[in-house]
């Protein structure tokens, strides 16, 4: 409501493309009812759908080298759909003041602070929410899939021993955008084999090629990385696509919480170095083995990685809940849920 209050009676600068995405269908209904939507439209704003489009680079991508102010919480390189764009994260008040001025502006320069009266009641309309059907009818449900929508890949139970290679070695602060590019690649999200071609595309374009070659030879793929691995938005494709490529474990200095959970959901073992300096003891293409990993996950025993290339052992930790251990043992959450039925 701060946005339409500031826009009322004003016009967006002619050099600016200004888009407003109401947070939900119910927010949309409320600003229609109270007249705020009219003030937004009359200012020259474009009304965007209530979705994550402009946040993830699926629409409203800025031009080459252009400046864009965004009120969503992501500005990784290329996140807006344009790699060269200068994306700044700002408040709604700064965004609307800048849209009016045509340059980055201080909203306090527009005059006194407007006291926005909060609604006494927020609209709730769940009338179009479809209730789940009873389990006795699930076999009769037909899932319609077009030619570009494939079945989700199946995961396997955790192997007794995992042997393979360090297919890629990465540094710190690898984001989910580094792992799975968004923007133009999002159109493949329902086609896991195709989308998997682009895992780490902007970091190492040959990663998927190497991974598929290893997978098809029965060689496991390992990802080695530094601190804060998996920061950013919690897209499940950052786990499901590496799983499809045959990634069996990710070994890092530290994980971001949600991505770590997603790896477990798809049967990938998330391991951390007990001693962070051991990160330097593995190089890309090293042959590595996790002996007796299945029993060690089950029995909560110490996990040792053996680097066959360098002939040395490295201590690892697996800091997860008992339930997550059960999920890993059966190969992921889908398999785990099936066993509960």
Q: Half-sphere exposure of residue 213, counting CA atoms within 13 Å on the CB side?
A: 7
What average pLDDT score do residues 317-332 get?
A: 96
Determine the 3-state secondary structure of 9 from DSSP.
Answer: coil
Answer whether residue 156 is part of any domain. Answer: no
Is residue 115 domain-resident?
Answer: no
Of 72-76, 271-275, 307-311, the least confident: 72-76
Output the pLDDT for position 136: 84
Identify whether residues 7 and 88 lie together within a single domain: yes
Residue 24, in any domain of the structure: yes
Q: Is it the case that residue 120 has pLDDT exceeding 80?
A: yes
Domain that holds residue 43: 2-110
Cα atoms found within 13 Å of the Cα of residue 254, Cβ hemisphere only: 8
Whether 67 and 189 map to the same domain: the answer is no
Dihedral angle over CA of 274, 278, 279, 283, nearest 10: -140
Same domain, 89 and 197: no
Q: Is the pLDDT of residue 113 over 80?
A: no
- Residues 309-321 have a mean pLDDT of 97
Average pLDDT over residues 208-237: 95
Q: Does an H or E element contain 133, and which?
A: none
Q: What is the pLDDT of residue 83?
A: 83
Tokens 């053996």 correspond to 306
Q: What is the pTM of this model?
A: 0.83
pLDDT band at 32 (very low <50, low <70, confident <90, very high): very high
Distance (Å, rounded) from C-alpha 336 to C-alpha 117? 48
CATH number reported for the structural domain that contains residue 227 in this entry: 3.20.19.10
| Same domain? 177 vs 101 | no
Name the strand (E) or helix (H) holding 167.
Answer: strand 162-169
The average pLDDT across 192-215 equals: 96
Are residue 248 and residue 308 in the same domain, yes or no?
yes
* Same domain membership, residue 307 and residue 173: yes
DSSP 8-state secondary structure symbol assigned to residue 74: -
Q: How confident is the model at residue 42 (pLDDT cuts 50, 70, 90)?
A: very high
Q: Is 123 within a domain?
A: no
**pLDDT (average), residues 19-23:** 92
Give the span between the Cα atoms of 62 and 60, in whole angstroms: 6
Please give the DSSP secondary-structure letter assigned to residue 222: E
Distance CA 245, CA 200 (A): 12
* pLDDT tens column, 138-179: 888 888 888 878 777 888 899 999 999 999 999 999 999 999
237 and 311 fall within a common domain: yes
State whether 189 and 313 are in the same domain. yes
Work out the pLDDT band at 103, boundaries 50, 70, 90.
Answer: very high
Place of tokens 């021993």: 161
Both 213 and 273 in one domain: the answer is: yes
Residues 105 and 232 grouped into a single domain: no
- pLDDT at position 60 is 84
With bands split at pLDDT 50, 70 and 90, how would you rate the model's confidence at 34?
very high
The stretch 87-103 carries a mean pLDDT of: 95
137 Cβ neighbours under 8 A, 6+ residues apart: none
Q: Return the CATH number at 14.
A: 3.30.499.10
The per-residue pLDDT for range 291-305, each reduced to its tens digit, is 999 999 999 999 999
183 lies in some domain: yes
Give the residue-averaged pLDDT of 308-336: 96
Main-chain phi, psi angles of 290, to 5 degrees? -110, 95
Residue 182 counted as domain residue: yes
**What average pLDDT does this structure show over 30-44?**
95
Mean pLDDT of 248-255: 98
Position 130 in a domain: no
My answer on whether 273 and 167 are in the same domain is yes
- 97 and 107 in contact (C-beta within 8 Å)? yes
pLDDT band, very low/low/confident/very high, at 128 (cuts 50, 70, 90): confident
When pLDDT is cut at 50, 70 and 90, the band that residue 73 belongs to is: confident
Last residue of a domain, one of 47, 75, 110: 110
Q: How many domains does the chain have?
A: 2
Cβ contacts of 79 within 8 Å, gap of 6 or more: 55, 56, 57, 87, 177, 182, 183
Tokens 């601190």 locate to: 227
Is 47 within a domain?
A: yes
| Mean per-residue pLDDT over the chain, rounded | 92
The CA distance from 80 to 62, in Å, is: 7
Same domain, 231 and 332: yes
């Amino acid at each position: 409501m701060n946005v339409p209050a500031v826009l009322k009676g004003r016009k967006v600068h002619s050099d600016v493309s200004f888009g407003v995405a109401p947070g939900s269908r119910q927010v949309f209904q409320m600003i229609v009812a109270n007249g705020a939507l009219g003030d937004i439209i009359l200012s020259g704003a474009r009304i965007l759908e209530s979705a994550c489009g402009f946040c993830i680079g699926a629409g409203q991508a800025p031009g080459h080298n252009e400046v864009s102010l965004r009120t969503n919480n992501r500005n990784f390189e290329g996140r807006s759909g344009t790699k060269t764009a200068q994306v700044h994260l700002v408040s709604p008040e700064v965004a609307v003041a800048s849209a009016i001025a045509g340059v980055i502006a201080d909203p306090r320069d527009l005059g006194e602070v407007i006291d926005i009266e909060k609604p006494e009641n927020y609209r709730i309309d769940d009338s179009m929410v479809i209730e789940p059907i009873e389990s006795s009818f699930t076999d009769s449900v037909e899932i319609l899939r077009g030619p570009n929508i494939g079945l989700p890949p199946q995961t396997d139970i955790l192997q007794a021993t995992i042997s393979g290679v360090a297919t890629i070695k990465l540094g710190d602060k690898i984001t989910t955008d580094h792992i799975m590019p968004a923007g133009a690649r999002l159109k493949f999200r329902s086609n896991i084999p195709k989308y998997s071609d682009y895992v780490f595309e902007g970091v190492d374009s040959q990663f998927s090629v190497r991974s598929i070659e290893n997978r098809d030879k029965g060689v496991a793929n390992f990802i080695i990385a530094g601190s804060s691995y998996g920061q950013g938005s919690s897209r499940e494709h950052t786990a499901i696509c590496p799983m499809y490529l045959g990634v069996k474990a990710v070994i890092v200095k530290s994980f971001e919480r949600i991505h770590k959970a997603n790896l477990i959901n798809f049967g990938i073992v998330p391991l951390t170095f007990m001693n962070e300096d051991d990160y330097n003891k593995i190089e890309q293409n090293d042959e590595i083995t996790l002996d007796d990993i299945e029993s060690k996950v089950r029995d909560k025993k110490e996990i040792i990685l053996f680097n066959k290339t360098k002939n040395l052992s490295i201590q690892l930790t697996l800091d997860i809940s008992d339930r997550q251990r059960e999920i890993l043992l059966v190969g992921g959450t889908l398999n785990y849920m099936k066993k509960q039925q």
